[in-house]
Every structure is written in C-alpha cells, then in structure tokens.
Structure 1
Amino acid sequence: MAGFMKRLLPKRFRKQGVTIPVVRLHGAIMAGGSAFRPMLNIAAVAPLLERAFADKEAPAVAIAINSPGGSPVQSRLIYQRIRDLAVEKNKRVLVFAEDVAASGGYMIALAGDEIIADPTSIVGSIGVVSGGFGFTELLEKVGIERRIYTAGENKVMLDPFQPEKEKDVAYLKSLQQEIHGVFTGMVKARRGHLLTDDGEIFSGLFWTGERARALGLVDGLGDMRGELKRRYGEKTELRLVSASRGLLGRRQPGVGLAAGIGSSLALSAVAGLAETAEEKALWGRFGL
C-alpha cells in the first residue's frame, strides 16, 4: 500500500533515494516451533521473503543471517525459496553474515548473489553432524523394564537404550555422506569459481569472516547499512520486513496458534526444553 501511495505522488514530492527490504534470519534452523518459541524454518520465513521480494521498486533484497545451522532440509528449502523469488522477481540478493553463518546458516547464505561478512563473523562448517545419548545402563539402575515391539529388524536402529551397533553407525554415516555431498555440491555450484584449493573447506571447519574471504566463501567484509549506502547512495533506506503480531503481541512464525491452547501450551513447554538444549548445543559449537 505504501508503494502504491508513493507512486500516486508527483515525482517532485516523492522521497529521493532507494529503499531496500531487509529480512533477518536469526536462530537455529528447526522444523516446528510455536508462537512462544518460533524457529527458523520455511514456514516462518516464506511470508517474509514473499513480502520482501514483492517490492517492485527495490533493486535488491538484503538478508541478514545469524544462525549456527540445524536442519539441512529446512536450510535447503529456505535457500531454494530465496533463489526462486530472486529469479521470478529479477532481484539481486545481498546476504550479510552477522555473528554466525555456519553449517545450515551458510547453506542459506549461498542463496546470495554476494555474501558480505563482518571480519569477526564465524563462517563455514560445511559438514553434517548427528548427535545423541546412550542410556544402556540407566533403566537397569532405576529398576525399569523397557518393552518394545517392532515389525522390521531396523525399526530400533540407534535406539539410545540399546548398545551401539557398528552396522547402525555405518548406515548413519552413509546418510551423512550423502547429505554432505549435496551441501558441497551447492557450494561448488554457487561459489566454485571463487574458492581456493584449500583441502579443508569441506572438512567442517569454520573461520572468521576475514579468513572466509581469503578462502572464497564470502565476497567482502562490511556491515549492511554501510554497504547498501555505498552501493545505492547515502539516501538509501533499509526497510525491515517483520513477522505480523498475533495473540499477546508475540511475533508469529507464519502460522496461527493451534486449537486447544491449554494443552498446546503444555506440550510446547515440554518440547521447548528439548529444543532449547539442542539450540544451545548448536550455538555452543561456535563459542556463543
């Protein structure tokens, strides 16, 4: 509506300068989430991206990424939506790495036509990780008998209450290798002509923005406001595209509250504990 009203004004009354839509992608990348604990995933991000790319007058869309990664599926879905919209709307995409653009966060960053990082940003971690716990002796110690019935010999593969099996671990690693291959293929397709021949780029290591630029993982160093004004003029304005507010004034992750709010809140509290632990572990890998 604002853009429509602006076009109705005579040119001499229109504000001079370019307005760039900005989408901030912050947090661990996980499916699900709730109004009380939104997650970074395609359901939450898609409405923001649609609104940002719908600005016909903007020559580019700026995306700020601050994420330690998470779900490779959600990361790739967000990446693909950005690229699809960029082609459809003929917009340039400028990605700005904040504290961290690593693992799935870096996968999303690949959607940018250019990636700009702070010299102290953490960038990279092009790899795949799975984690869990083993409780093989816990039940016996507390006097609990576990009963599980399956059809299919592999239905309890990697069960944390059973001893680890070599063949299960080997199978998991084969899946990780396939996902890693997809990730490295994306990096090579988007940035292959810029990468150095450093053999550790795809090892899962991560670097500062300064070192990432030397490796070809990012294009430049700087901050969003300064970079956009340098490119499009001092009168350039940044317009943050935010999620709409729902009940209790909380930002919505793209979907409404589920029916049966009382039981949903209880379930969300339980699930939130596990999600919090997982999210803290993701950030903790990078000292944050």
Structure 2
Amino acid sequence: MSDNGREWQILEKAVMASVDEQRKARRWGIVFKILTFIYILVIIIMVSSPSKHKGSAIDSSGTHLAVVEVNGEIADDSEANADDIIAGLNDAFTATNSKAVVLRINSPGGSPVQSAYVYDAIRQLRAEHPNKKLYAVITDLGASGAYYMASAADQIYVSPASLVGSIGVIMQGFGVQGLTQKIGIEDRTMTAGNHKAIMNPMAAVSPEEKAHVQKLLDTMHQQFITAVKQGRGQRLKENPDIFSGLFWTGQQAVELGLADGFGSVKTVNKLVGTDEQVNYTTKKNPMDDFIRKLGASMGETIAAKLELGNDLKVR
C-alpha cells in the first residue's frame, strides 16, 4: 500500500473517532437534560402539593381530640423537629372542632434548642387559646428534652412503667492523647484562636476550658430547671434529686409531681367527652430526602468535574 493510502486510512480513523466522541457527548448531554427535567419537575410537584392539614378529612371532622406525636430523638433533622411539631400544634389548636390537644410523647430527648422552641410555642398557644387544654401523654419514654416539652402542658399522664425525667444536660467526649503518644501519632491540628480546638480528643483539656464548658452546661441546666418549675408549679415535690439527671418510673413520677396521673390518649378522650381523634402530626414529605440527595449528588458531580478542593474548613 502506498504512503498516500496509509495517510488516508489514518485520516479516516481520526475522523471516525471524532464522530464517535461527538455521539457520546450528545448522549451524555441528553442524559443530563433528562435528569435536570426530572429535578425541576419534582420541585414543582413539591411546591404545588397541598398542605397536609388542609384536606377535606380534617376540615369535615366533628368534635374531636387533636393529637400531635413526638417520636424518637428530638433534633433539627429528625422526625421530631421543632418546626414540624409546632406546625402540628398550631393546626391542632386552631382547628374549629378540636376540644383539646394531646402531645403524645415517646422520646429519649435530644436538642435543648428544639425542645425549648416547642416549650415556648406551647405556652404561647395555651395563652392564645385559654379554653382549649393541652395534655401530654408519655408512653414508653419521656426523658430530657421530651420532658422539657411535656412540662409546658396543662397536665401530664403516664403509664406506671413509663420512664420519665432525666432533667439534666450532657456533653460527651473522650481523650486519646496518651494512646496516640504510645503508638507514635502526632496531632497536627492548627487553629486561629486560642480555644478553637477546645475538647480536641487528641489533646488534654485545660482547667480554663473545662471550667468554660461546665459553665455552659450549668447555664443550660438552669434554663431546663426554670422551665420545669414554671410549667409544673406547686405540683413538684421538694426533692433535690428531681433535677439531678435521674429518671423515674411513671409511678415515681406521679409521686414526685412530675406527672399528674396514669392514663393514655383514650383517657384524655374520656376527660374531654369525645371518642374521636384526629392526628395533626406533621410528617416530612418523603420527597424532601430525595430532592436533597439529588441536589447533593448533582453538586458533587459538578464539583468533581471542576476539580474543586475541599481541604480547608471553617467550623
């Protein structure tokens, strides 16, 4: 074959390779367009979805007991977050045919901030609706931040076997500086600010830093104690262990004045004179997580394409 023929073969292969790359690029372009369309469509559906509590089922309900549930750990990103609990309580109190409201609790507690938000909202709603009582019903567990919320209720009902209390504040940590020295690990943490690495497990805690953290915990603990005393009033018995962080059975809780009696949501139904219940608990839309994950995935893809670094963090 002549040199001229070989040159044409090489040129033909180069052209075909270029055409193949263009086809692949077009296919990927179509894929990304479809994903973008799906992403936008999901957002539109989310925005246009009607509110959970505006449906005809609740609007047409007769006289009923309004129920709002608090399940699991109390945290900003959990099912038991302040925004959703307060939204459910608002709907429950403002519903025309609700005779009373029940906060049904089964939670070990969690964020003191989220708990305080709900506590304050309950007290405000009770002031705005003086003729509509709020009852707290603790089932298996109503401890720490969950009891913080419950203490704002008009009355608290428990089972004799419920676990109640744990009025305290905790900050967990550990130190491994001795171990790291033994195995030859060097701590290279760098900061701007003398105490930015406070509670670093790779270093010893100075007396000054320990005192600072303890003061923070004592302040939050006192806020918790004040809220419980304000909510429970003269019903609390004089017992220094109440605020020690100990938890109690439901039976002990009644004896200590932490609860008013034994009962369930059905008990409250009888108290207010209606057999009907309507659940006003605000549930997170299942599409929220999908959108967040999709958005994060797209962001990671773009960042990877742009080769963005993420070595320096300000926290």
Give me the TM-score of the superposition, normalised by structure 1.
0.76
- One-letter identity of the residue aligned with 1:205: L
Match among 211, 228, 250 for residue 268 of structure 2: 228
1:157 aligned onto 2:198: yes
* Correspondence 1:200-279 to 2 at 5 A: 200-225=241-266, 227-233=267-273, 235-244=274-283, 246-247=285-286, 257=292, 260-262=295-297
For 1:22, the equivalent position in structure 2 comes to 67
For 1:269, the equivalent position in structure 2 comes to none
**Alignment partners' CA distance in 2, 1:94 and 1:132:** 36
**Alignment partners' CA distance in 2, 1:83 and 1:26:** 21
Contact 2:66 2:99 in 1 (8 A): no
- 1:168 partner SS: helix
Shift of 1:141: 6.1
**Alignment partners' CA distance in 2, 1:189 and 1:243:** 27
Shift of 1:129: 1.1
Q: 1:203 to 1:246 in 2, by over 3 A?
A: closer
For 1:114, the equivalent position in structure 2 comes to 155
- One-letter identity of the residue aligned with 1:125: S
Shift of 1:75: 0.8
| Rg larger for | 2
- 2:243 partner SS: coil
- 2:134 partner SS: strand
For 2:224, the equivalent position in structure 1 comes to 183
**Alignment partners' CA distance in 1, 2:151 and 2:268:** 19
Match among 69, 73, 76 for residue 116 of structure 2: 76
**Alignment partners' CA distance in 1, 2:191 and 2:86:** 38
Contact 1:29 1:41 in 2 (8 A): yes
Contact 2:165 2:248 in 1 (8 A): yes
Shift of 1:124: 0.9
Match among 89, 92, 102 for residue 52 of structure 1: 92
Shift of 1:122: 0.6
**Alignment partners' CA distance in 2, 1:183 and 1:216:** 16
Contact 1:258 1:264 in 2 (8 A): no
Contact 1:48 1:243 in 2 (8 A): yes
Shift of 1:77: 0.7
For 1:89, the equivalent position in structure 2 comes to 129
Unaligned 5+ runs, structure 2: 1-55, 301-315
Post-superposition CA distance 1:124-143 (Å, at most 9, x none): 11111110122324555666
Post-superposition CA distance 1:189-211 (Å, at most 9, x none): 12131111122111111110111
Which 10-residue stretch deviates more, 75-84 or 106-115? 75-84
Which 10-residue stretch deviates more, 164-173 or 124-133? 164-173
- One-letter identity of the residue aligned with 1:28: E
Which 10-residue stretch deviates more, 238-247 or 19-28? 238-247
Q: 1:155 to 1:88 in 2, by over 3 A?
A: same
Unaligned 5+ runs, structure 1: 7-14, 266-288
- One-letter identity of the residue aligned with 1:241: Y
Q: 1:264 to 1:29 in 2, by over 3 A?
A: farther
Shift of 1:5: 4.6
- One-letter identity of the residue aligned with 2:124: D
Contact 1:103 1:127 in 2 (8 A): yes
- 1:59 partner SS: strand
Which 10-residue stretch deviates more, 105-114 or 182-191? 182-191
- 2:70 partner SS: strand
Higher normalized contact order (CA 8 Å, seq sep 6+, divided by chain length) = 1
**Alignment partners' CA distance in 1, 2:156 and 2:180:** 49
**Alignment partners' CA distance in 1, 2:272 and 2:115:** 29
1:199 aligned onto 2:240: yes
Contact 1:228 1:236 in 2 (8 A): no
Q: CA RMSD in A?
A: 2.7
Q: 1:164 to 1:39 in 2, by over 3 A?
A: farther
- One-letter identity of the residue aligned with 1:46: I
